[in-house]
């Protein structure tokens, strides 16, 4: 039943504890500047922490746009179809090295953001974050309007209703993109002589799908050929094509799946069989196709009635994309710390993959947050740094530019015990593994250039390239090692679909004029909320006073105090926020905890009737006729003082609230 916790298999709780301890120990294993530390101290400490995994047993809402389109599987038909499937199908081996058997997916779901981490062999290798204000566009379908056609660039700019116009290249209008998950049967009928002017006209309404997020100064990239990924299939309504994932290497299984695809494929449409379809029956694939066809019908219906520019189909949210694309037989478990999200995941799996439901576990221990227990927060903090230390004492320096990403490998404090060639070779080989991990963890795409330490032995250079290719095979995003340049640099290309995590979680630094980056106010506010939840979970206090940068305070409080009220409702405590210009944007201080009366006394430094001398700092954002002053970080809204910015004025307090006070200019 959705909402219930599957029983622990024998020994599984100990496995989770061991995996978490190992991940935490890994995240702390390398200290800055290569200084040594006692091995195992962190893992022993974390191993003592208690995991409390149990069900709340409450009902949860069903999926609105997904499960309603899926019919519940007919168990008798499914069982018969599976019996009819060749037994050898389940024995098919993928071409790439499979992830370790203890691969885990961690989901941290909250109102303000959803975070997902993939942990392999105790190491955090992938991280995703989604916020209501910054949802992914890739995969979404728009009815756009052609604004400009540029024959010289063989491209057009499409208004899809976003801040920047989308970019449509001529090849994306002629052939569907991203078919690298298929075999060699792709019919290459690209007509190179076709001009973009033959395909689209200015002012024309056109259906397009986003294939690459807007990044930096560039708008999103779109295609005319829409695709719909399902659990087992990818439907291509505008292309007559049948393909099977290259990662399915057993030829007999490939032929079986290709026969099924050709049998169920609608006329003049295309299908690609995904890797996870290995061993699945025709009935399961047909059910997946029926769902995708209903989605396509829905999109066409919306397109007929919509007025451009308009969003007519949005891809699933982060959690459900992860369930669809990442939860497979190589995943030992998926841990989720939000009961509502847990129930919705079970609802989805009940329709699309019931056999995976017992791998979904609800994590309820608030004392030790899931990401903290597994060392994910520490790993992400390191992934936002420019420098990455290796266990040997060497280190990487990762610099991102608009054009490419550069990775420099350095010996650091590692001097080795043999000759120079062996020392250099060892550090470079260790760097290969960490570079592959960092590309996945940071979600770095585009052109990557790696400056390994120079090696004079040709055999070492060859082994280095082989090791790098081996490590990159674990990456599900298409990655190609191009080879060595004339200067001895290694060129890599990695498919770029979305922004890297530093572009998502960081913003231009206001302190250095754009020469560096700091965390955005939204990211810091999310971190502060997590810290508030942690402090309150370990205390019986009635209230808490937190001091942060004013920009962060505005995110915590929200419009009309909405965000603060919701956080108080969630925690059941009173929360007082004070903004302080003297604090760094990324810093926070828990100033006090105690009874509500005690904290209110500390948090509100003024009383009605007080007469104060204050400097008007800025006009009120929504009411420019008023001026804003601050006393110990406490905001005071001065009526009619918007024109007195920079001046010291005498004011009288007329009303006091938790986050601000009202005042009027005092008449001397």
Work out whether the CA dihedral 562, 567, 569, 573 comes out positive or negative.
negative
Q: Which CATH superfamily is domain 509-603 in?
A: Ribonuclease E, catalytic domain (3.40.1260.20)
Higher model confidence: residue 189 or residue 635?
Answer: 635
> 170: exposed, middle or buried (C-beta count within 10 Å: 0-12, 13-18, 19+)?
buried
In the numeric block, which tokens belong to residue 150? 């540029």
In the numeric block, which tokens belong to residue 631? 């006393």
Helix (H) or strand (E) holding 565: helix 562-571
Decide if 369 contacts 21 (C-beta within 8 A).
no
The torsion angles phi and psi of 571, rounded to 5 degrees, stand at -90, -20
Q: Is residue 337's pLDDT more than 60? A: yes
CA-atom Rg of the chain in angstroms: 28
> What's the rounded mean pLDDT across residues 12-27?
46
Domain map of the chain by residue range?
12-131+326-363, 141-313, 384-493, 509-603, 604-668
Q: CA 243 to CA 179: how far, in whole Å?
A: 9
- In sequence order, the 6+-apart residues with CB closer than 8 A to the CB of 70 are 287, 291, 351, 352
What is the percent of the chain with per-residue pLDDT over 70, rounded to a whole number? 81
Work out whether the CA dihedral 56, 62, 63, 68 comes out positive or negative.
positive
Exposure string over 546-574, b if 16+ CB within 10 A, otherwise e: bbbbbbbbbbbbeeebebbeebeeebebb
Pairing of strands 155-159, 331-336: unpaired
Q: Is residue 69's pLDDT more than 50? A: no
Q: Which CATH number fits domain 604-668: 2.40.50.140, 3.40.50.970, 3.40.50.2300, 2.60.40.420?
A: 2.40.50.140
Q: CA 387 to CA 32: how far, in whole Å?
A: 9
Question: For 294-330, what is each residue's pLDDT tens digit?
Answer: 999 999 999 999 999 999 998 888 998 999 888 888 8
Decide if 230 contacts 291 (C-beta within 8 A).
yes
Give the pLDDT score at 58. Answer: 32
CA quadruple 322, 366, 22, 105: dihedral, nearest 10: -10
Q: Is residue 176's pLDDT more than 60? A: no
CA quadruple 501, 506, 512, 516: dihedral, nearest 10: 0
Q: CA 610 to CA 616: how far, in whole Å?
A: 17
What is the percent of the chain with per-residue pLDDT over 90, rounded to a whole number? 51
- Paired with 166 in beta bridges are 158
Span of 82-91, 191-200, 255-264, 647-656 with lowest mean pLDDT? 82-91
Span of 397-401, 411-415, 539-543, 614-618 with lowest mean pLDDT? 411-415
197 secondary structure, DSSP code: G
Pairing of strands 360-362, 331-336: parallel
Q: Is residue 64's pLDDT more than 90? A: no
Q: Is residue 50's pLDDT more than 70? A: no
In the numeric block, which tokens belong to residue 463? 């082994």
Question: For 250-301, what is each residue's pLDDT tens digit?
Answer: 899 999 999 999 999 999 899 999 988 998 999 989 999 999 999 999 999 9
The torsion angles phi and psi of 266, rounded to 5 degrees, stand at -65, 155
Question: For 71-95, what is each residue's pLDDT tens digit?
Answer: 333 444 434 434 444 333 333 443 4
Question: For 444-459, what is each residue's pLDDT tens digit?
Answer: 999 999 999 988 888 9
Confidence of residue 577 (pLDDT cuts 50, 70, 90): very high
Give the pLDDT score at 297. Answer: 94
Span of 77-86, 487-496, 626-635 with lowest mean pLDDT? 77-86
Q: CA 143 to CA 641: how far, in whole Å?
A: 47
Give the pLDDT score at 135. Answer: 76
Give the pLDDT score at 659. Answer: 83
Say whether pTM exceeds 0.75.
Answer: no
Q: What is the rounded average pLDDT for all residues in the chain?
A: 81
Give the pLDDT score at 2. Answer: 37
> What's the rounded mean pLDDT across residues 554-569?
91
Please name the residue that has the structure tokens 């570079």: 435
CA distance from start to end of the chain: 71
Confidence of residue 247 (pLDDT cuts 50, 70, 90): confident
Give the pLDDT score at 363. Answer: 94
Q: Which fold has domain 141-313?
A: OB fold (Dihydrolipoamide Acetyltransferase, E2P) (2.40.50)
- Paired with 302 in beta bridges are none
Question: For 206-228, what is each residue's pLDDT tens digit?
Answer: 999 999 888 877 899 999 999 99
> What's the rounded mean pLDDT across residues 490-509?
85
In the numeric block, which tokens belong to residue 110? 């909250």
Confidence of residue 560 (pLDDT cuts 50, 70, 90): confident
Please name the residue that has the structure tokens 């040997």: 392
The number of residues making up the chain comes to 668
> What's the rounded mean pLDDT across residues 522-533?
95
Shared fold status for 141-313 and 604-668: yes
Name the nearest CA neighbour of 529 among 571, 559, 582, 501: 571
Q: CA 23 to CA 28: how far, in whole Å?
A: 9
Q: CA 277 to CA 289: how far, in whole Å?
A: 12
Give the pLDDT score at 40. Answer: 42
Confidence of residue 668 (pLDDT cuts 50, 70, 90): low
């Amino acid at each position: 039943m959705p909402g219930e916790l599957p029983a622990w298999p024998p020994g599984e709780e100990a496995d989770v504890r061991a995996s978490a301890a190992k991940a935490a120990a890994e995240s702390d294993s390398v200290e800055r500047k290569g200084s040594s530390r006692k091995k195992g101290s962190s893992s022993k400490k974390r191993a003592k922490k208690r995991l409390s995994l149990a069900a709340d047993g409450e009902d949860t809402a069903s999926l609105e746009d997904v499960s309603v389109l899926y019919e519940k599987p007919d168990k008798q038909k499914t069982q018969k179809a599976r019996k009819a499937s060749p037994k050898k199908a389940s024995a098919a081996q993928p071409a790439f090295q499979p992830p370790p058997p203890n691969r885990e997916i961690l989901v941290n779901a909250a109102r303000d953001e959803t975070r997902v981490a993939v942990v392999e062999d105790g190491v955090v290798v992938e991280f995703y974050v989604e916020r209501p204000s910054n949802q992914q566009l890739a995969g979404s379908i728009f009815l756009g309007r052609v604004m400009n056609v540029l024959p010289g660039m063989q491209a057009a700019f499409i208004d899809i209703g976003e801040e920047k116009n989308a970019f449509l290249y001529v090849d994306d209008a002629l052939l569907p993109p991203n078919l690298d998950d298929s075999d060699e049967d792709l019919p290459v009928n690209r007509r190179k002589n076709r001009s973009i002017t033959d395909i689209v006209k200015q002012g024309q309404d056109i259906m397009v799908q986003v294939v690459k997020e807007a990044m930096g100064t560039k708008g999103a990239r779109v295609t005319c050929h829409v695709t719909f990924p399902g659990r087992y299939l990818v439907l291509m309504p505008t292309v007559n094509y049948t393909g099977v994932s290259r990662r399915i290497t057993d030829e007999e299984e490939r032929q079986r799946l290709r026969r099924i695809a050709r049998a169920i494929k609608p006329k003049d449409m295309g299908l690609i069989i995904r890797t996870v379809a290995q061993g699945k029956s025709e009935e399961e694939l047909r059910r997946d196709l029926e769902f995708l066809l209903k989605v396509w019908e829905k999109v066409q219906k919306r397109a007929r009635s919509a007025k451009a520019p308009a969003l007519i189909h949005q891809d699933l949210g982060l959690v459900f994309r992860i369930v669809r694309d990442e939860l497979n037989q190589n995943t030992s478990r998926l841990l989720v710390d939000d009961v509502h999200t847990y129930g919705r995941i079970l609802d989805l799996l009940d329709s699309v993959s019931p056999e995976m439901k017992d791998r979904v576990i609800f994590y309820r221990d608030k004392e030790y947050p899931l990401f903290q227990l597994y060392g994910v927060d520490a790993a992400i903090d390191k992934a936002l740094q420019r420098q990455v230390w290796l266990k040997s004492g060497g280190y990487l320096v990762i610099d991102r530019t608009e054009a490419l990403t550069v990775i420099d490998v350095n010996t650091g404090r590692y001097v080795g015990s043999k000759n120079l060639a062996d020392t250099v070779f060892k550090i470079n080989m260790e760097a290969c593994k960490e570079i592959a991990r960092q590309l996945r963890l940071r979600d770095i795409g585009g052109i990557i250039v790696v400056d390994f330490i120079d090696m004079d032995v040709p055999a070492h250079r060859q082994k280095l390239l082989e090791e790098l290719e081996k490590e990159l095979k674990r990456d599900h995003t298409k990655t190609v090692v191009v080879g060595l340049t004339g200067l001895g640099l290694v060129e890599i290309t990695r498919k770029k679909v979305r922004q890297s995590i530093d572009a998502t979680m960081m913003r231009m630094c206001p302190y250095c004029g754009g020469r560096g980056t700091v965390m955005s106010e939204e990211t810091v506010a999310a971190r502060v909320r997590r810290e508030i939840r942690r402090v309150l979970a370990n205390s019986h206090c009635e209230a808490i006073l937190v001091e942060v940068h004013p920009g962060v305070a505005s995110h915590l409080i929200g419009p009309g105090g909405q965000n603060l009220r919701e956080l108080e409702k969630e925690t059941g405590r009173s929360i007082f926020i004070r903004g302080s210009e003297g604090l760094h944007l990324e810093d926070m201080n828990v100033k006090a905890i105690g009874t509500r009366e005690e904290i209110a006394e500390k948090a509100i430094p003024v009383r009605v009737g007080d007469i104060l001398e204050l400097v008007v700092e800025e006009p009120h954002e929504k009411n420019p006729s008023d001026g804003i002053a601050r006393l110990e970080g406490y905001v005071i809204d001065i009526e009619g003082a918007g024109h007195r910015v920079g001046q010291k004025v005498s004011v009288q307090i007329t009303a006091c609230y938790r986050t601000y006070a009202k005042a009027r200019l005092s008449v001397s």
